[in-house]
Amino acid sequence: GIQVEQSPPDLILQEGANSTLRCNFSDSVNNLQWFHQNPWGQLINLFYIPSGTKQNGRLSATTVATERYSLLYISSSQTTDSGVYFCAVETSYDKVIFGPGTSLSVIP
Amino acid sequence: GAVVSQHPSWVICKSGTSVKIECRSLDFQATTMFWYRQFPKQSLMLMATSNEGSKATYEQGVEKDKFLINHASLTLSTLTVTSAHPEDSSFYICSARDQRKVLAGYNEQFFGPGTRLTVL
């Protein structure tokens, strides 16, 4: 089956710093989503991005489907950005596979 | 828009009892809902796909007789953990797709807040 990898697994940032999170997948996918899981467990939709680039405030994402990766950019990080970031891909069999996540801590 | 609720938020039960978790799409209709399980500091694992009016599709290794799923309407799916044991303790999360968006080609999933199950 398809493999989804995320890097880095853990990241500590000073408030105000920028970061790039990466998601690699081993096969073609129908779509890709990025989520932020807050400390209470709620998954918050960040981007639905099967291909191309999208921006939403301080966050932006780029998916290059032909090269099987997606990037999530966080600029001017804030403490409220802390949590776990997941990418999830949907395969051609209508299965959704989550990556292992990147745990982000933003310190003041 | 695209709000999904779960009830209860947390539940503690004795070993051997059954627990029902509800997942509702509040402002959209969902022909497809998903149930996930998440252990501490791990990723989400898909347990089953729930389709309105038909039997759920379970992932390999998930016991269908233990985790009963019913998708009785376009806004409600339930997961019943039967004869719960301590190893069933976990964070259960549901998600749903907006039927109208799916018809337009957008398979975006929206997640509920999760249910934390503790079996004593």
Q: What are the pLDDT digits (tens) for A37-65?
A: 998 899 999 999 999 999 999 999 999 99
User: Can you tell me the distance from the alpha carbon of A12 to that of B80, in angstroms, rounded to the nearest whole number?
Assistant: 39
Pick A41's closest partner by Cβ from B46, B106, B114.
B114
Amino acid A106 reads V
Distance from CA of A108 to the nearest CA of B (A): 23
Give the A:B interface size as CB pairs under 8 Å.
Answer: 47
Partner residue facing A30 (CB), from B95, B107, B113: B107
Confidence of residue B119 (pLDDT cuts 50, 70, 90): very high
Q: Are A83 and A38 in contact (CB under 8 A)?
A: yes
DSSP A45-67: EEEE-SSEEEEETTEEEEEEGGG
pLDDT, tens only, A14-26: 999 999 999 999 9
Which strand (E) or helix (H) includes residue A103? strand A102-107
Angle ∠(A68,B37,A29) on CA atoms, nearest 5: 20
Which band of pLDDT confidence, cut at 50, 70 and 90, is reported for residue B31?
confident
Is pLDDT of A93 > 80? no
Whether B109 contacts chain A with CB within 8 A: yes
For tokens 């690699």, what's the residue? A24
Could you tell me the pLDDT band of residue A94, with boundaries at 50, 70 and 90? confident
Rounded CA-CA distance A77/A105 in Å is 10
CB contact under 8 Å between A35 and B111, yes or no, is yes
Tell me the mean pLDDT in the region A64-86.
Answer: 97
Binary contact (B111, A88; C-beta < 8 A): no
If you average pLDDT over every residue of chain B, what do you get?
Answer: 94
Identify which of A84-88, B29-33, B56-60 has the greatest average pLDDT: A84-88
Q: How confident is the model at residue A1 (pLDDT cuts 50, 70, 90)?
A: confident
Q: How far is CA A14 from the centre of its chain?
A: 19
* Average pLDDT, integer, range B49-53: 87
**Mean pLDDT value of segment B83-87:** 96
Q: pLDDT > 90: what percent of chain A? A: 91
